[in-house]
Structure 1
Amino acid sequence: MAVISVVGTAAGVFGVVQAMTRDTTNFSHLQISAGPTEGATAEWAVPEDALDRLPDAGWCGEEMTSWLESNATPLRREVSIKLRNDATEGPMLALTDFRPVSTVAEKRGPLRVRLVCDPAGSIPSQIYHGRVDADKGTTARHVRVSGTGAEAAPPVPVAFNLAPGESGTIPVGLFSRMPVSGSLEATVLSGKEEKVVAIPGTEFELPALLFAGDMYLITTDAGLLCVQTEKGVIEECTLDELKHEVATARK
């Protein structure tokens, strides 16, 4: 799994600064789009009844990839939102309240386990992203997950400020305990005015994931490992522990 970091030239990336208006507000200056987060890793949703058939070779090689293509479903869970203020002068644009507009299934149905196929062959020491719980409708929170509690940080709302000519990128991770489909939107502030904008390219469809995706499998050079993130800390678990949680969730 590649470490996700925020890229941008805007100051105060995760805090809203009061916009200073010099001329008439023009929301059309905002350019916003999204696409899959680039990287060598691939994520899959593995059916719970396929866990006992996982390949003995736990690294992200030809055998694992072939098995996943036959037994699992590709998981598009990470997107990068690209922002730009095309104005040459005038108000700062502040974006906040990044949130899902989604349809949640009435029944959970079959449970899936997230599997990260990572050629790097190691567990990440830190992960940064804007977390969206797609089935809850809550606003995105900036999350820093670390291997130690001392390096973790409490979640804060995702926001982004764009002065004229500035641009940036926000990496977003989608999580869900229920089958859900939808897309993302955000609120744009300029002076005392605001506007809700849909974010093209953020369309998603997720299955019900064990622990919403926070307990998952990752390929490493040492084999397939279980990982759980809780309260900002990355912890290792065992495949037996993961199967136990799957069995408990099935009841």
Structure 2
Amino acid sequence: MKIVVIGGTGLIGSKLVAWLEEQGHEAVPASPRTGVNTLTGEGLAEALAGTQVVVDVSNSPSFEAAEVLRFFETSTGNLLTAEAAEGVGHHVALSVVGTGRTPTNDYFAAKRVQEQLIEKSGIPFSIVHATQFFEFVRGIADESAQDGQVCIAPVLFQPIAGDDVAEAVGRVAVGTPLNGGVEVAGPEQYRMDEFFREALAASGDPREVVTDPHARYFGTEVSERALVPGEGAALGRIRFQDWSADRP
């Protein structure tokens, strides 16, 4: 089966392409690096020729409100139009757990717009909602830093390894369209402040993690369960301690 992976040269995309190839599928990485630009439409028709499944794991280069919304609206719109013209039978998108629970978060709001475009497209689809990746822990800490301290709310947190995300998306991609969504998360749940305190200490980061119930997550206060999945979520196999032990 030919599967085109939009964002296929990125963190999750490259892992997904490798996983699909291991399963015997023809996985085609598509990104500006390979001559495919979903914002302009360049190379889309050529890349999608003969494709049965399209998986979109691309991400906005900017998290600024207007830019992130423009990216997901334009990119997704162009992609769905090209898929309809080619007769693609399954559109799979990677999204975030909690997009409907924190509408004041600009990124989550833009991802929800993306989801709605997919839902209304008429193309059979599946949406994989994943929790935050282990690979983004340092970036989240940097975003939460103030005056040398990392301010984190004590809400629930259940991050997942990028490898587990790629496998979960891959399994959905080779299956029957869900015409709905599924949630995936890491195997362990924490209090977010406690997780970052332990994670930064383990990595040798000297910054103090301060527990602040009003700390913002990328500009927005989040509720107790905003970042974790509901019951029935698929859980990854890789524990954070094991994942971090494999890193320098």
Shorter-chain TM band: under 0.3
**Structure number with higher relative contact order (C-alpha < 8 Å, ≥ 6 residues apart):** 1
> Which has the larger Rg?
1
Structure with more helix by fraction: 2
Tell me the TM-score normalised to structure 1 length: 0.25
